A and B are shown apart, each in its own frame.
Chain A
C-alpha cells in the first residue's frame, strides 16, 4: 500500500509572526520557514506504518514555491521514500491544494492519504476534508491513533469532550492531530540519504488544475494591544467598574 503525505512549508512555529507594514500579509522576508508541525506528525505516522509493514511506500507531496524542496527533503529525512513538488509561485488556497492532491491521488492511487489537520499559518483546517469530498474517499479527521488492518483503518478522533473511534474503508483520507505521535529527530546520516532520494517537480498545469485564488485577503492586522490594568481598593469598586465602565456585567 502506498501512503501519500502532504507537507506544507510555513513560518516556523518559533518565529513571532509580524504583519507587513502595508497590511497585505505576514512579513516572510529572511525568516525561518519549516514544515507545518501537523504535517511532520503525518509524515512520522506514514513512516511508522511502513516500518510496521502496513505500508510499502511513502510519498511526500508539497505544493508551492521552489524552496518547498527543503521541506520535502525533511520529509525524506524522516523516512519518506520519494517526493513530489507541485511548483508554483501562485498563492495557494486550500481548495487549490485539495484539487492538486486529488489529481495526484488519481495518478498515484495511494491506499491512504495522511495530511496534517491544519496548517499553523492560515489555520484553515479544510484541505483534508475538501480532498476527501473531491476524491470521493472516506475521511477521518483529527486522528490521535491509526490502525490499519484488512483494508480498513481504525481511527481514533479527538472530538470535543472525548474520543471517537471510526472504522473506514481504504483508500481514505486521515488528518493528523497533535497526539497522534511524537516525530523522531532527523539524524545526520538520514539527512545525507535524503539528498539522494528522488524528488520530482511538476507544475499545476501538468495536473490540469487551475490554482487561481478564489478568496481575496482584504487586510491583515495585529490583535489590539492589551491596555494596562489597574488596582481597585475593594470588591464594590470592582463590581461598579465592571458594570459601569467595562459594561461586562
Chain B
C-alpha cells in the first residue's frame, strides 16, 4: 500500500541527520542525550532526531516503576539538581505469597537480593521520559512527537538508510483524503531502533538480518497497570509490594505489584507471562480480581482510579537477546529485550544500552564512518555491569517455564543460595526453545475460567478502563491491526481457541460478533488500541500484525 502511494505521489521528501532515533522512550532519549554530551565534550557537531509516535514524549510510556538510578546517575550525575522526577525512595519491600484469602510475607532473610530495592525509587516512567525529553531538547536534540516511523528505508547495499514516517490523511479504505500528506524519509548515517518491546520495525530488522539466529526465542509478558489516588489515611509513601500466587494457577507465570508514590498516589499492576496455555485466561480479568484480594484491596478502599494502561514486556533476558547491531543501525532497550525479569526492572537497562550505543555511534561518526555495523556496541555491553547483571539472571525465565514451584526454587537457589556461597552467577544455563504463541492449547481441552463481575469501586470493566487511558486514533484511517489472512480469526482462533484475542487484548480491540445470518466475524475496534503489542505476540498463528497508525494516535498516559 505504502509503495504504491509513494510511486503515485512521491518521491518522498528526505531530511538528513547523523543519527535517526526511532522511539522517544528511555532508551532512545538516552542514546540521543549521550550523543549530544559526547559531541559537546569533543567540541564536535552531531545532528540527532528522535521520532515518537505518541502525541508527546511519555504519552506511550507505561512502567511499574521501581527504578534503579545507577544508569541515570551515569547519564546525568546531577539529575537531582536538574529536577529529575525521582521523588520517592523505596522505604520498604514486601514480597507476598497470596492464597485466595491469605497472604504470607516472605521473610527478609529469604528474600533474594534481586528483589531488594534499597536505593531505588518509586517513579512514573512516563514523567521521567517527559523530563528526559526536555533535557534532550535543551542539548539540541530534535524531537518530533506525533510522527510514527512506519517503514525502514534501505540502501542499495542492503544497509539501513533510515526510516519513513507514515502517511497522514488516509481514509478507512487506505485511499488518500483531501488532507492527505505523504510520509517523509529521515536518513541517518546510523539509525537507532528504540521502539520498546516487540517494536514493529525492530521485528523487521531482526528478521531481515537474522539477528536472532541461535538465540532462544524472546519471551513476553503483558503488564496491565492502574494509577490510583488513595485515601490519605492509607498512604505509605515508598512501600513496594510484589505478589505471587493467587489468582494465577501454578502453571501460569505472573504476579502483581503495588507501589506507593508520594502525594497519596498508588501505582499497581499485574503481569501475566504470554506463554500461558489456557485460552480462557484473560489477563485483564486476572488483574481486576487480584485487586479484590484483602491484601491489595486494603490499599485502595476509599480511593479513586485515575489511570489505566497496558504494555507487553520482553522478559527473555540474556539468552533471548538478538545481536543488537546490523549494517547502518542498532537496537537499544527493549526493542532488543534488555529487561531483567528477575529484578522486574528494565528502564535502567534501557538507559544503559542507549548510552553504550551512543558511545559506539560517537566513535564511528568521529571516524567519518556511516552505514556499517557497530560491533563496538555489543563489545562494550559484554564488558558492562548490565551484562554481568543479566548474566546472573539469565535462567530466570527458563525456570519459570517449568512452573511456579520450580521457578521459585531455582530462582531462590540462583539468587539467594549461590551468592551466599560466594557464587555470583549460576554455573549452568537453561535454554528455552518455543515462542509464546505456540503454548496456547485448544479451548476444548482447558477449563473455562469464571471471572467475577466488576464492582465498579475496586474492580472495573474493560471499556471504562480503556476510557481513562485517554487513547484515541483518528477514526477515518485504515485499521492498524492487520490480518495476514482475514478468515483465520473465525476458522482457527474462534473454532479452536474460543477467540483468545477477545480476552488477551487489554483494550477491547477484538470482538467476535454475529452476522445477520448467524455466522461469526471478528470486529477490530482499532481506535481502542493502547499499543501494547500483545496481539502481535500471542496470536496463535501469528496472523495479526501490528503496524503503526497515524502519528499522535494511541494512549495519552500521564503519571503512568
Contact = CB atoms under 8 A, between A and B. Distances in A.
Contact of A185 (B144, B181, B186): B181
A16 B467 contact: yes
A182 B177 CA distance: 11
B191 interface: no
Contact of B169 (A185, A189, A191): A185
B558 A32 contact: yes
B165 interface: yes
Contacts of B372: none
Contacts of B296: none
B559 interface: yes
Given A21-B229, A184-B181, A14 B470 contact: yes
A33 to B, nearest CB: 9
A12 B558 CA distance: 12
A191 B558 contact: no
Contacts, number: 55
Given A14-B556, A34-B55, A188-B15, 20 more contacts: A12-B55, A14-B470, A15-B556, A15-B558, A18-B306, A29-B559, A30-B58, A30-B126, A30-B558, A30-B559, A31-B556, A32-B55, A182-B178, A182-B179, A184-B179, A187-B184, A188-B144, A188-B184, A188-B186, A189-B13
Contacts of A188: 15, 144, 147, 165, 184, 186
Contacts of A21: 229, 264
Contacts of A187: 181, 184
Interface string B159-173: 000000100110000
A16 B470 contact: yes
B501 to A, nearest CB: 25
6 contacts: A15-B470, A30-B130, A34-B55, A184-B181, A185-B169, A191-B144
Contacts of B186: 188
A187 B185 CA distance: 12
B309 to A, nearest CB: 13
A244 to B, nearest CB: 27
Interface in B258-277: 264
Interface string A19-59: 00100000001111010000000000000000000000000
Contacts of B556: 12, 14-15, 31-32
B157 to A, nearest CB: 26
Contacts of A31: 556, 558
A189 B185 CA distance: 11
The residue in B186, B306, B558, B559 that gathers the most chain A C-beta atoms within 10 A of its C-beta is B558
B56 interface: yes
B468 A16 contact: yes
A14 B470 CA distance: 6
B124 to A, nearest CB: 8
Contacts of A18: 306
Given A14-B55, A30-B558, A185 B130 contact: no
A192 to B, nearest CB: 8
B498 to A, nearest CB: 29
Contacts of A191: 144
B526 to A, nearest CB: 15
Interface of B: 13, 15, 55-56, 58-59, 124, 126-127, 130, 142, 144, 147, 165, 168-169, 178-179, 181, 184, 186, 229, 264, 306, 467-468, 470-472, 556, 558-559
Contact of A14 (B181, B306, B472): B472
A65 to B, nearest CB: 15
Interface of A is mostly: loop
Interface string A175-219: 000000010110111011000000000000000000000000000
Interface of A: 12, 14-16, 18, 21, 29-32, 34, 182, 184-185, 187-189, 191-192
A29 B58 CA distance: 13
A181 to B, nearest CB: 10
A15 B178 CA distance: 27
Contacts of B559: 29-30
A34 B145 CA distance: 12
A189 B15 CA distance: 8
Nearest to B124: A30
Nearest to A30: B558
Contacts of B467: 16
B80 to A, nearest CB: 19
Nearest to B126: A30
Contacts of B472: 14
Closest 6 CB pairs of A and B: A14-B472, A185-B168, A185-B181, A31-B558, A30-B558, A15-B470
Contacts of B468: 16
Nearest to A183: B179
Contacts of B58: 30
A12 to B, nearest CB: 7
B63 to A, nearest CB: 15
A184 B178 CA distance: 9
The residue in A16, A29, A30 that gathers the most chain B C-beta atoms within 10 A of its C-beta is A30
B137 to A, nearest CB: 11
A28 to B, nearest CB: 10
Contacts of B127: 30
Contacts of B558: 15, 29-32
A182 to B, nearest CB: 6
A192 B184 CA distance: 13
A31 B142 CA distance: 21
A222 to B, nearest CB: 10
Nearest to A191: B144
A185 B181 CA distance: 7
B307 to A, nearest CB: 9
B230 to A, nearest CB: 11
Contacts of B470: 14-16
A31 B306 CA distance: 12
A45 B322 CA distance: 51
Contacts of B168: 185
Contacts of A189: 13, 15, 184
Contacts of B178: 182
A188 B185 CA distance: 10
Nearest to B178: A182
B499 to A, nearest CB: 28
Contacts of B147: 188
A187 B551 CA distance: 11
B182 to A, nearest CB: 9
B56 A32 contact: yes
B12 to A, nearest CB: 11
The residue in A18, A32, A182 that gathers the most chain B C-beta atoms within 10 A of its C-beta is A32
A14 B126 CA distance: 17
A32 B144 contact: no
